[in-house]
Chain A
């Protein structure tokens, strides 16, 4: 492993050695996630794991609070200049791990790089430029009024522009983002975050040490060293916690919740999540699905509460829409409508009393209990005489089938990268359009241009109340139309030893703010 320490990390250690370690950050934390970061380049992939790394080694301009508000981080304040412009004031005296000082040019560098990143460019599409006013002031400019400007700013983790500029010894551009093969940024890192990476062996462990020169001296965090071990196997991860091998684990599998709750040395934290699990009904493949009555019948036939209680063991929140509680589009009046008789009645009215046969596909290792959920849905549909030919596949094989729309009903789980309702609609219910990328995951081929129009209008509406009303209306109309079959929002769970106070640093986005973690 020592051989994997980069030259940079080595020089870092030397540079920071003479400085006194801040007195309180002396605790060690061993933690186990189900995977380790795929790369050290936070712009290489937009995924939960990469965002977790970003929050440990970098800081965003602003970040989400527990109740889905915003709190200032590297940006200490912001104000709207005009419809399309937001001006940010940067915090002064913030240093990168390399020793360079953070200025607006670093933010500009980061913004430009995000626009290049294959995974992020879609999210930053509404932005036309980042204007540097002076060293500590810059403006984010959008092409048209954009209500999600602040949501997107949570994705801007300023990189050390000096560190990532230039050529490596082998002549490669240091700022390059490479999906396959190694780039400079995938092995070297310099951020402003609370932790510096001191060792990394991919798939085995990552070691972090508290950044001595960390700007946030108010942070209650007292962890000086973190060792992250990826443990993929659920049972092993839980055992590692129960046997005292690690102090903090995530995620906790639903089958082990009770076991951890009973354990007197461990704490369990659960939260209703934001990832919606749903089925699409493909109207291009099945004529009957074009009939709203049939779709409604299916909506009435599915018992969301039953699935959440029996299969998910309470580890899910039954859903009747896509937006979870706390999102702008969340419509409180929508509830699961389970009623088999009504469903049978609707099938009769639609002229499908004798039912029909459809194919269904679901992954079997992507979401919690995905295959069991699919089996339950198939059984529920049998009660309204829809015979289901179910096939479940490992995720690696499932997604190509999904892209090919290979079955009449297909399962998907979706988390909105923008933490906003519109993202659900754009990807899952918009009229599919290969050109614009709309409805990329709309495996139902449901298409209602009026609803799309409404969402597009909401996307340029900066008046929060108006926008909320619009998005709520969209949820209502999709519900009335039974555009898809929502099942539930998958819950989140973390567990730790009693002395590790994880509750305050956890959030529904599932990126724990480990910099603020207190260990007693």
Chain B
């Protein structure tokens, strides 16, 4: 266990080192940070003076060594735009992103398990086929399109007048297909509950939860179909195995067979995939947050790129790298708990 953790920590250090080197190497391609800081009519001399003051004229290697030296002392630089230490900026934005990921994960867990299990147990039922069909569509629609459609339907509202208004059935259909809208379409709202540090939570107020709905659903929309299909496929395979047949023959109730014996083994690959996907979800938040003006790290990162805020870009990439390493480590630990035959250090048992 200890050896495993040490190995993972050294991996994390390596990953972050590589990311920082790459981020530094490409910074010339990210544009000129000064362009965002001064007006158009500022003269070249003035620009040169500011550049010199900021140390942007030093060779890349010198800049990197300076950065790495500070980084080893926990200082990841100061954001050009925010004028604050990059870690403070990231920590300010991180809670919003984490809440979005938690919201989406909740939706995924709540819906994927029952639907996946149902579709595996009753593959022929029309409801299963319906879910499978919808999930195929869901997996192939890009997240920003989902988001825009959701906003149109649930925030702005749609008025349908395809059917004759004078006929009773037409009126009914029109009314049934029209929506009122009204759900918040941007941001996190006003009533956030301070938890600790920079964490202000939207989970404890009605307004906060309403603001979470559309972004979480959009973010979940990519992963949900994937998980439904994964659980269904795994479950169907497990249901074919000998021990399930034995359990049935033994006369165990079918709910016990399905949800205790079968589901537990189904979840093994799901946890693996899930862990990796949570990392990917953090990446997908960039799109979702942009569409919903969600003040999280994804939006912050995208804006940092347009502003060539290089210290913030580097720090964000390193933090995301760290998140990936941590989630993978946690997944491996959980995996070991669920399936004790797995050895953590990776040696063959």
Contacts and interface: CB of A to CB of B under 8 A. Distances in A.
Interface of A: 1-2, 32, 38-39, 45-47, 118-119, 121-123, 178-182, 186, 201-205, 229-233, 235-236, 239-240, 242-245, 365, 394-400, 403, 414, 417, 427, 434, 437, 440-441
A122 B43 contact: yes
Indicate the member of B50, B151, B185 with the most A CB atoms within 10 Å.
B185
A291 to B, nearest CB: 30
Given A396-B30, A396-B31, A399-B31, A236 B37 contact: no
Contacts of A201: 92, 295
Given A182-B84, A396-B35, A235 B44 contact: no
Nearest to A233: B290
A47 B39 contact: yes
Contacts of A440: 41, 43-44
B32 A400 contact: yes
24 contacts: A2-B194, A39-B83, A46-B39, A119-B39, A180-B83, A201-B295, A203-B299, A232-B290, A232-B299, A233-B293, A236-B151, A236-B185, A236-B290, A236-B291, A239-B148, A239-B156, A239-B185, A240-B186, A240-B293, A245-B186, A394-B31, A399-B35, A440-B43, A441-B40
Given A245-B155, A396-B308, 7 more contacts: A46-B39, A231-B186, A233-B290, A245-B184, A403-B32, A427-B40, A440-B44
Contact of B41 (A182, A229, A245, A427): A427
Interface size class of chain B, counting residues whose CB lies under 8 Å from the partner chain: 35 or more
Interface string B32-51: 10011111111111100010
B200 interface: yes
Interface of B: 29-32, 35-46, 50, 54, 78, 80-84, 92, 148, 151-152, 155-157, 181-187, 194, 200, 290-293, 295, 299-300, 303, 305-308
A119 B78 contact: no
A243 B293 contact: no
Given A204-B295, A242-B156, A119 B290 contact: no
Contacts of A121: 46
Contacts of B155: 239, 242-243, 245
B290 A179 contact: no
Contact of A181 (B35, B83, B187): B83
Nearest to B211: A245
Contacts of B54: 180
Given A180-B37, A240-B185, A245-B185, A232 B293 contact: yes
B185 to A, nearest CB: 5
Nearest to A396: B31
Contacts of A396: 30-32, 35-36, 305-308
Contacts of A417: 39, 41
A38 B37 CA distance: 9
A441 B47 CA distance: 14
B111 to A, nearest CB: 26
A365 B306 contact: yes
Indicate the member of A179, A181, A417 with the most B CB atoms within 10 Å.
A179
Given A229-B186, A232-B303, A243-B156, A434 B151 contact: no
A229 to B, nearest CB: 6
B293 A119 contact: no
Contacts of A243: 151, 155-157, 181-185
Indicate the member of B32, B36, B81, B184 with the most A CB atoms within 10 Å.
B32
B34 to A, nearest CB: 9
Indicate the member of A121, A229, A394, A396 with the most B CB atoms within 10 Å.
A396
